[in-house]
Structure 1
Amino acid sequence: MAQLKVHNSLKPGGPVPFIPKEEGKVSFYACGPTVYGPSHLGHGRNYVSTDIIRRIMRDYFGFKMKFVLNITDIDDKIILKARRQRLLEIEKSKKYTESETSELAATAFEAYVQSNLPALNLVDLTSNNYLSRVNEAYGDVLAGKSLIGGDKPGDAETKIKMHINSLNSAWKAIQEKNVFGGEADDVISPYLDSLYKDKIDGSDHTIFTEVTKYWEAHFMEDMDTLNILRPDVVTRVTEYVPQIVSFVDQIIKKGFAYEADGSVYFDIAAFEKAGNPYARLRPESRNDKALQEEGEGSLSKNLGAKRGAGDFALWKKSKPGEPVWPSPWGEGRPGWHIECSVMASDVLGSQIDIHAGGIDLAFPHHDNELAQSEAYFCEHGKGPHNWVNYFLHMGHLSIAGSKMSKSLKNFQTIREALSSDYTPRGMRIVFLMGRWNDGVEISDDMRTMAEGWETTVNNFFIVTKSLLAEKSSVDALKSLTINSETQTELQTSLDKAQKNMQAALSDSFDTPRAMRVLHELIKEANIRTHSNRVAVDLQGLEAIARWVTKIVGIFGLDANASPPYDGLGWASKGAALNLSPQEAVEPFIVVFRNVKDALSILSVRSETLDKLLAADVDSEFDSLLSAGTTDPELLVMPYLRSVSKVRDEIRQLAPSSPSKKVLLALSDLIRDDYLTNLGVYLDDRPEGLGALIKFIPREELVAQREEKAAKEREGLAQKEAARLERERLEREKAEKVKVSPLDMFRDERFSAWDEDGLPTKTADGKDVTKNALKKLKKDWERQKKAHEEWKAKSGA
């Protein structure tokens, strides 16, 4: 097998050979979510891509994996979310008068504007001028323009839109006197936080963990839905605080950190002076003040005097309203970056093969992780310690150029996406079509491409299984013995695809290329199958189908499959697998008997039909059971094949039979009712080949049947409407010919007429123009002729 190479953020450039510290084994740590809200598509992209890499390493390359995921269940965002949520609950339980509520809302509204949207003029703000004031202050941003002009809008503009949306909701709630109904929470809660945050008991950690436990469970459910493998180990910050304190203390003792007013900071200068590199992942960002501040968190201002501008907090002195834990430096809480260093090292040791996370975490989070971990493990005089061998950064998902983010509220949750735009498999296919380390701009085109790819694979599985099912009942759908000495065209195509797949996955998990390999192989197989309908190379076709099954299983595209993925097609759902053989087959036996009973009533006979009806189908089923067959699709084939052949025969007999209509109706009943309800479709083929039996999910077939019926109803309704319209026009025509040409123009349009009834004056007394009179004369002559014909026929 080709040498696996991976893109390693620690070594910019092309992929480098992957060599784990222990042959055949891989230690893998991934930064997990900060759990304070619903998981969005950006999380989906990150964790699905990580899962794909994990699966490929385990199931394709054969590595034994130990995968660790952390849960950040305490940080600045969580503290604010939980604290404000608690303060809102307290405030909503108070007894407020209407005037007190209005005063609170007005004050909170003004504070929110001054803090987040200072350009908005609040003087004499009313319902009549609110929208115009907002547009006056931020119209360019709302119109999609950049704050700095020229460039595309980004996170700054997205944040302004977020604040405007929050303000709009609050304004509406305030006008409707529904301040505590929920719509104004984003505006009210920051104000309450400024008033009462010091009333929160920081030693009561449940205030914060109640929020994080709920959202962690929510996250895990979403990951299960997306068929993401559960981690081997899950670590949580709140369960590691004593270890974090010890870890920080060791870094201080080594001279790479210092305490300042109850907080502890990492000393970058001392670390580098000892010969250790800092900002290895993003050296160009080490002096980026905005990123440094973002990494420290919104609650980390004025903690203590730092020696260097880039020094970052390992331990934070807790302020009023923040959770507290004991430490040698006083009550405080862990810094953000330290959690991963402590938890990953505790589970995986002093050196980790792979560390993964979103690209937006590269600096400062991952660079700071590296520094503090290497400071902890390094030994003076022995050179730098290498804590992570390979850093894999997943490209982020963006909307209109802005990173999808919970804090920016510019996201679609995973559950929203799955309820409207995607299936779990479809979403994974979209991500497989992009390289894991590239950014992705979500679009309708991507989803359309993914749907097309899935349809191609699905149809290939269905047709292959159907063609194999045409063989004898004993061989139907069984694995055929591939004769390695017979090198067919399909086998040659498979060999080529397998080599191309190996090259793609060895090239830093190049899944877009891998997806093209599968698509091209299926395309070749379809061409050869369709061009050789009578003599299909079933051995080659099955070999391809089983290999494609294995690869899509490795990619996690089949939630019902498990290693070694040696089946054929998408695996059956658990409900079907829980049925006994007799229970699975019984509905098909009922159909078989219903068809026989229907034919026994009809006086239709042929030698072929008599043989089909007399065949001992039950014994074929018993033979399959005796052979140990458990696959429901295999077990039902004797009955299905008999029903299909009977239907083929009655369709042959129908044209020359006196019972033609009855036979064709029975044929449709078998296909569109009996078998559709069982998830089976009979695909009628020309050239006397008989119908091809296809297993298709019942829901799809029923939906197609209902859609067809709806179209037929619509067509009949349109025909009926057209018939009624024709009748109406005929009635109008019949009534119109009864009108004498002398009276046809005697209405409000005109005021004078000649002796023939032709108008001479319009309603306002003006003369009728020559051109108008000419047209009216033609209409008069047509009416005169029609009226006289009517009189002659009716004797009137």
Structure 2
Amino acid sequence: MPSCASGLCKDPIQNEGRARWYPPDNDSNLPNLHVHNSITDELNLFRPRLGRTVTWYTCGPTVYDSNHMGHARAYLTFDILRRIMEDYFHFNVLYQVNITDVDDKIILRARQNKLVKDYTQTALEQKDLKSVETYVQTAMTAMRQKLEEKVEELKEPLPNATPTKQVDEREEALKQKDGTTIEELIGASRDALAAQLDKEHGSSVTDHKIFQDHARKFEREFFEDMTSLGVKEPDVVTRVTEYVPQIVDYIQGIIKNGCAYESNGSVYFHTTDFKSKGYDYRKLKPGVDTTAEEMAEGEGALTGGGSEKICNNDFALWKASKPGEPSWESPWGPGRPGWHIECSVMASDVIGENIDIHGGGVDLMFPHHDNEMAQAEAYHQCNQWVNYFLHAGHLHIKGLKMSKSLKNFITIRQALKEHSPRQLRLMFLMQPWDRSMNYSDQTVDDAKAKEKYFKNFFGAVKSVLRNDFVQEEQGVTPADRVLLATLNSSQVKIHASLLDNFKTFDVIQHLMDLIQECNKYLTSEAKPKNLPIKKVAIYITKILRVFGVVQGSDIIGFEESGSGEGGSSKEEIVAPFVDAFVDFREQIRVAAKSKSSPGDFLKNCDEVRDETLANLGIRIEDSADTSIWKMDDPTVIRKEVEEKRQKALEAAATKLQAKFDRLTVDLRKAQQSSILLSEWFKIGANAEKWGDFDENGKPLTTKDGKELSKSQQKSITKETNNQQKAHDKLLKAAGELGIDEYVAQIEQQLAALEVSATN
């Protein structure tokens, strides 16, 4: 049985089917925070090992490509939890993140980029399109064969797409296009071309700088994306390539402790020997057989077959480098670190033999995190390296796992073109942090609606706070007491929600309920007081600041862009607003001198509201009695103004169409009613029915000379009466104008409407 080297000396908790878990022993006066611990798959009381100090390690990115919304799910989630721990519960958090800057994916991507770039340059210089077409076809065929072999090897279908779907689509696209250039041909077949070039020439890429430059590019992009999302910087960042000597020493320690072995220049962790010494493996996904796909993911695309390993479940700590791969010297020959060992070594170096919290995406539970813990416990000879494992839930895009083959792959930068960092953060806050969530139009729209609700509230509060509260009647009214009691109740509920596994989605709802009650207070008959309203607004801002939704220094509400930060002089800050006022004043003076109508003055007022002030980030809200102003993002205000204008145009168009339809009907009726009885039965469709007529124009016979039947006579009499009534009604409507002029007027109105519609 391994020793208790970590100081975790309580008796272990043994849940059926799961690993033993040793609760940390800490008698400090700490909040009764419970967190979902993946090791037990239960809510456990959180206790750091040392007082209020919390050591926290989060798996960072493998920097081989741009960051996507799955990364945002993990790092924004842990940023929110970290902020709550630090700024609400007042723990002292040491937060470490690693950068995986050597890995099979990085090696392949950097190597292939280099080879494709060189091939493209050579092809353009030689201008031999036919040779490129032949090579591309060879590459496409090879990719199809490789995909089919992969399916056969794994004995299970590849996710999200048929094996050759993408290859077929690209080949078909090339066939459909005439006059393809070399650049287009290479671009359309890039993946297949890169794989073929790598197969033939990958071993020729030996310069370490190629791999390092690739990793640094995407590491920089990662930190830029985190800054854009408002994610706090880590306290410590560690890179794999800067830890290779320590990794070698660490692996030697695991070998010495009897849990690893060397094989053909590589070193593997011996899972069977590890378990035989009394350790638990696997802790996070116990009792689940390792699939071929999981093993392939854990070992990497450049790892050879499993013949070197004693047991199929053993995993690489050190990989013997092949030609075309970066390598470092070691007792086992030139090689590089395995995927899992890096985190064990870097976290052990910075934090030690026991970590309070380890975080990561749920997709890393196995093999990465289970193998991490096994390595560290074997090295430190302890029974529990991590006390609390926190896993952020999966992110699905419109209900489906994100995948380039499904064309629902969204990078962080793409998402930020559509939505603000605040909106994305609110979206995550409104979901359980440890459960799968859906990124869809509905979830984003819900976040935008919440943001707007908060904005409107803060704007209304600031409007009231501009009043001189010294002139107000002081004391406490019944309405004041109700509001303050509601605030107190909300604070209790919010505190309980945060203690219960960081239920931020409940907190957001409690804040919305509190705002609803405050809005009732603001609109009640009793005059609202500044101080109670300010107290509520400051508390709501405080909680939103804890969550990272508010990141400025304003005591109330969201920080707004264009508010004069950065040391601007007072004149520079007020200049655009004074200019707006002076311009508006001049418009009013000109209108007054020209004795314009009241409508012109209102038009000027609307223009300064919807254009000038909107561009300055000031929202004017008019009511029957007064108008109030609020600060907001100019882009948001302009969008709302444009939407309002568009709706007005649509309403006007609908109204215009209705009037056009009505006048069209009126014209048809007038033209029909204007026909005299003496002519009524002799024109149009009637002319084909009747033969002889009397002196008043009434039919006497049918077209073929037959006398009218009684029913025909009755029908003619009824039709005569109706036409006479319609004609009399038209005469009355036309009045002194006369029928011809009346009909002409309707025709003119219709013509004018047609002109308006085209303009």
TM over 0.5: yes
Q: Paired residue for 1:104, among 115, 131, 135?
A: 135
Q: 1:466, 1:692 within 8 Å by CA — same for their partners in 2?
A: yes
Q: Which residue of 2 aligns with 1:630?
A: none
Alpha-carbon contact 1:679-1:695 (below 8 Å) kept? yes
Unaligned 5+ runs, structure 1: 121-146, 149-154, 379-383, 605-656, 762-770
Which secondary structure does the structure 1 equivalent of 2:543 belong to? helix
**Counterparts in 2 of 1:534-573, with a 5 A limit?**
534-558=526-550, 560-561=551-552, 567-573=555-561
1:307 has 2:310 as partner: yes
8 A Cα contact 2:95 2:236, kept in partner: yes
Answer yes or no: is the 8 Å Cα contact 1:171–1:184 preserved in 2.
no
Q: Partner letter of residue 497 of structure 1?
A: S
* Pair 1:228 & 2:231 matched: yes
1:373 aligned onto 2:361: no
Q: Which moved more, 1:303-312 or 1:453-462?
A: 303-312
How much has 1:591 moved relative to structure 2?
5.1
> 2:104 aligns to what?
76
Distance 1:445 1:794 in 2: 59
Aligned to 2:3: none
Counterpart in the other structure of 1:164: 165
1:573 and 1:436 map into 2 onto residues whose CA distance is 29
AA of the residue aligned to 1:518: L
Q: Does the Cα contact within 8 Å between 2:67 and 2:412 map onto a contact in 1?
A: yes
Taking a change above 3 Å as real, the CA distance of residues 366 and 186 of structure 1, as seen in their structure-2 partners, is same
Question: Aligned match of 2:640 in 704, 707, 731?
Answer: 704
Kept in 2: contact 1:117–1:160 (CA 8 A): no
Alpha carbons 1:481, 1:539 under 8 Å: kept: no
CA spacing shift, 1:665–1:289, aligned 2, 3 Å = closer
Q: What is the Cα deviation at residue 184 of structure 1? A: 1.3
- Offset of residue 601 of structure 1: 8.2
What corresponds to 1:4 in structure 2?
Answer: 33
CA distance in 2, matches of 1:545, 1:46: 30
- 1:168 is displaced (CA, Å) by 0.6
3-state SS of 2:325 partner: coil
- Structure 1 vs Structure 2 CA RMSD: 4.3
Change (3 A) 1:313 1:37: same
The answer to whether the aligner puts 1:239 opposite 2:231 as a matched pair is no
Aligned to 2:197: 192
Match of 2:427 among 418, 430, 435: 430
In 2 relative to 1, CA 319–62 (structure 1 residues): closer, same or farther, beyond 3 Å?
A: same
- Kept in 2: contact 1:741–1:787 (CA 8 A): no
Q: Following the alignment from structure 1 to structure 2, what is the Cα–Cα distance between the partners of residues 408 and 360?
A: 19
Quote how far apart the aligned CAs of 1:742 are: 5.5
CA distance in 2, matches of 1:708, 1:325: 64
Provide the C-alpha distance between the structure 1 equivalents of 2:97 and 2:740, rounded to a whole number of angstroms.
93
User: What does residue range 434-473 of structure 1 map to in structure 2 within 5 Å?
Assistant: 434-471=431-468
Mapped pair 1:263 → 2:266: yes
CA distance in 2 between counterparts of 1:195 and 1:475 reads 84
Q: Indicate whether 1:394 and 2:392 are aligned.
A: yes
Distance in 2 (alpha carbons) for counterparts of 1:555 and 1:707: 31
Counterpart amino acid of residue 705 in structure 1:
V
State the Cα deviation string for residues 731-779 of structure 1 (Å, max 9, x = none).
Answer: 88888879997564699xx9x9967899979xxxxxxxxx99x999999
Compared with structure 1, are the counterparts of its residues 406 and 39 closer, same or farther at alpha carbon in structure 2 (3 Å cutoff)? farther
- Report whether the alignment pairs 1:505 with 2:506: no
Gap change, CA 1:85 and 1:732, over 3 Å in 2: same
> Whole-Å Cα distance in 2 between the matches of residues 775 and 671 of structure 1?
64
Query: Match for residue 693 of structure 1?
Result: 629
Distance 1:237 1:159, change over 3 A: farther
- Cα deviation for residue 695 of structure 1 reads 2.9
* Contact 1:482 1:539 (8 Å CA) reproduced: no
Does residue 580 (structure 1) correspond to residue 569 (structure 2)? The answer is: yes
Return the offset for 1:675: 4.1
Instruction: Look up the SS of the partner of 2:523 in the other structure.
Output: helix
Q: Could you tell me how far apart the structure 2 residues matched to 1:448 and 1:465 are?
A: 26
User: CA contact under 8 A between 1:44 and 1:414: conserved in structure 2?
Assistant: yes
Could you give the per-residue CA deviations for residues 632-665 of structure 1, whole angstroms, max 9, x where no partner exists? xxxxxxxxxxxxxxxxxxxxxxxxx997556655
CA shift, 1:364, in A, is 1.4
Contact 1:261/1:304 (CA < 8 Å) preserved in 2? no
Residue of 518, 522, 539 corresponding to 2:511: 518
Indicate if the aligned counterparts of 1:40 and 1:406 stay in contact, CA closer than 8 A.
Answer: no
In the alignment, the residues of structure 2 paired with residue 89 and residue 445 of structure 1 have an alpha-carbon distance, to the nearest angstrom, of 42
Choose 23-32 or 250-259, whichever is displaced more: 250-259
Query: Does 2:58 match 1:30?
Result: yes
- Whichever residue aligns with residue 524 of structure 1, its letter is E
Query: 1:109 Cα deviation (Å)?
Result: 2.1
Change (3 A) 1:363 1:661: closer
What are the Cα deviations for residues 168-209 of structure 1, in whole angstroms up to 9, with x where unaligned? 1243125535563412112222223222222322xx122222
CA separation of 1:69 and 1:174: change in aligned 2, threshold 3 A: farther
Is the Cα contact below 8 Å between 2:318 and 2:335 reproduced in 1?
Answer: yes
Structure 2, gaps ≥5 residues long = 1-29, 694-698, 705-710, 732-737, 742-759
Q: CA deviation at 1:668?
A: 4.3
Does the 8 Å contact 1:105/1:174 carry over to 2?
Answer: no
Report the identity percentage: 38
| Residue in structure 2 matched with residue 137 of structure 1 by the alignment | none
CA distance in 2, matches of 1:482, 1:417: 49
Cα contact 1:741–1:784 (8 A) shared by 2 = no
Partner of 1:381: none
**Cα–Cα, structure 1 residues 727 and 10, in superposed 2: closer, same or farther, change >3 Å?**
closer
Aligned to 1:612: none
Report the Cα distance in structure 2 between the residues aligned to 1:723 and 1:729, rounded to whole angstroms: 10
Q: In the alignment, which residue of structure 2 is the partner of 1:404?
A: 402
Asked if the contact 1:87–1:189 (Cα under 8 Å) also holds between the matched residues in 2, the reply is yes
Query: 1:569-596 CA distances to partner (integer Å, 9 max, x unpaired)?
Result: 0123365223333332344445555676
SS of residue in 1 equivalent to 2:287? helix
Q: What TM-score results when the alignment is normalised by the length of structure 2?
A: 0.78
For the residue of structure 1 that corresponds to 2:37, the secondary structure is coil
Q: What residue is the counterpart of 2:78 in the other structure?
A: 50
Cross-structure match for 1:679: 617
Contact 2:136 2:186 in 1 (8 A): no
Q: 1:677 to 1:288 in 2, by over 3 A?
A: closer
So what's the TM-score if we normalise by structure 1? 0.75
Q: How many residue pairs are counted as aligned between the two chains? A: 678
The answer to whether the 8 A contact 1:359-1:394 is kept is yes
Q: Distance in 2 between matches of 1:669 and 1:108?
A: 62
Which residue type is aligned with residue 37 of structure 1?
D
Partner of 1:17: 45
Instruction: In structure 1, give the amino acid aligned to 2:543.
Output: I
Aligned counterpart, 1:419: 417
Matched to 1:194, the amino acid is K
1:283 counterpart = 2:219:
no
Rounded Cα–Cα distance in structure 2 between residues aligned with 1:185 and 1:66: 43
